[in-house]
Amino acid sequence: MINLGEKVKDMITDYEGIAISKVVHLNGCVRYEVKAKGLKDGKTIESEWIDEGQLTVIEEAESQEKKEEKPPGGPGSVPSGFSHP
Verdict on whether the full-model pTM lies above 0.95: no
pLDDT at res. 61: 78
Query: Which of 41, 51, 47 has its CA nearest to residue 16?
Result: 47
Q: How far apart are CA 19 and CA 3, in angstroms?
A: 7
pLDDT at res. 53: 95
pLDDT at res. 22: 97
pLDDT at res. 35: 97
The one-digit pLDDT tens for each residue of the chain (85 residues) are: 899 999 999 999 999 999 999 999 999 999 999 999 988 899 989 999 999 999 999 988 776 555 556 666 666 666 666 565 6
Q: How far apart are CA 37 and CA 47, in angstroms?
A: 10
Going by the DSSP 8-state scheme, the letter that residue 59 receives in this structure is E
Instruction: Mention every residue, 6+ apart, whose C-beta is less than 8 A from residue 62.
Output: 5
Q: How far apart are CA 63 and CA 47, in angstroms?
A: 23
